[in-house]
Amino acid sequence: MSATTAVKRLSVPDISARKGATPVVCLTAYTAPMAGLLDPHCDVLLVGDSLGMVLYGLPSTLGVTVEMMVAHGAAVVRGSNHAAVVVDLPFGSYQESPEQAFRVAARILAETGAAAVKLEGGEEMAATIDFLVRRGIPVMGHVGLTPQAVNVLGGYRARGRSDAEQAKILGDARAVAEAGAFSLVIEGVVEPLARQVTELVPVVTIGIGASAACDGQVLVSDDMLGLFADFTPKFVKRYADLATQVGAAAQAYAEDVRARRFPGPEHTFAEKRPKA
């Protein structure tokens, strides 16, 4: 048995059991090579629709397609063997009806091999979550700042500063948990409210711009690695500055090429003549 096949991948019940226990470590992954690097250190790899902005240069997540999510989800599953892989349902692929959501979610799980799907929304999506879970599709919820609803929310500002917003987020979290979601992303929510939500719901909460009291944390890997030199969200801690390193490496390569220092003799193939 190879080392790869000997590893037991974490399951949805494994993640659910972490409520109030060791925090769940989650990072985004969009490609097989990055998944392979992150996998040994993560409990969950999230194939987020953030790939539209990170990889495709889109202005928001709204232009992401099901085909994109299937392609990148399958790549992440192939590149990993330990973390549970969760794939986002993209905008417009599930909001119309529970039946639409089931068709798309079933396709994503079948064609990627992922463990679960993630969808955004609170009380308005509870019936859809219930519909999916009852038909064997594990669902990770997402409340607070929901990027797919950025046009309705009026931007990417923190949520929960008013009494009305707090009441809505608490109601959304409760509805998503009661509908059967196994975990819940809390994004861009003021810290006391994120802590309160975590205490309120019986499912694992995963914070991003929320609270250290959440049952786990998620970041966009490219933000965490410092691959964007121009902007860092307030809630991101950079653990590396790869943008600077990549730029410096590209500059050194360009200088060597222009000066004909690369390729050197050690990088080229010598002619080999057959022996007489």
pLDDT digits (tens, 9 = 90+) for 175-200: 999 999 999 999 999 999 999 999 99
pLDDT at 154: 58
| The one catalytic residue among 67, 96, 123, 187 | 187
Closest CA to 46 of 35, 54, 36, 57: 35
* pLDDT score at 231: 66
**Which pairing describes strands 216-219 and 183-187: parallel, antiparallel, or unpaired?**
unpaired
Residue 158 has what pLDDT? Answer: 77
pLDDT on residue 156: 58
Residue 139 neighbours by CB under 8 Å, 6+ apart: 105, 116, 117, 118, 119, 129, 132, 133, 180, 181, 182
Q: Is 187 a catalytic residue?
A: yes
What's the CA gap between 93 and 75, in Å, rounded?
A: 21
pLDDT of residue 2: 44
Position 232 scores a pLDDT of: 72
Ligand-binding annotation for 39, yes or no, is no
Was 50 annotated as part of a binding site?
yes
The reported pLDDT for the residue numbered 223 is 95
- Residue 260 carries which side chain, given as an amino acid letter? R
Residue 151's pLDDT is 62
Residues of the chain whose pLDDT is less than 70?
A: 1-6, 150-157, 231, 276
Instruction: Please check if 272 is assigned to a binding site.
Output: no
- Give me the residue spans of the domains in the chain: 3-224, 226-263
**pLDDT by residue (tens digit) across 95-113?**
999 999 999 999 999 999 9
CATH of domain 3-224: 3.20.20.60
**By the 8 A CB rule, do 119 and 129 touch?**
yes
Contacts of 164-170 with CB under 8 Å at 24 or more apart are 166/193, 168/122, 169/122, 169/143, 169/144, 169/193, 169/197, 170/196, 170/197, 170/200
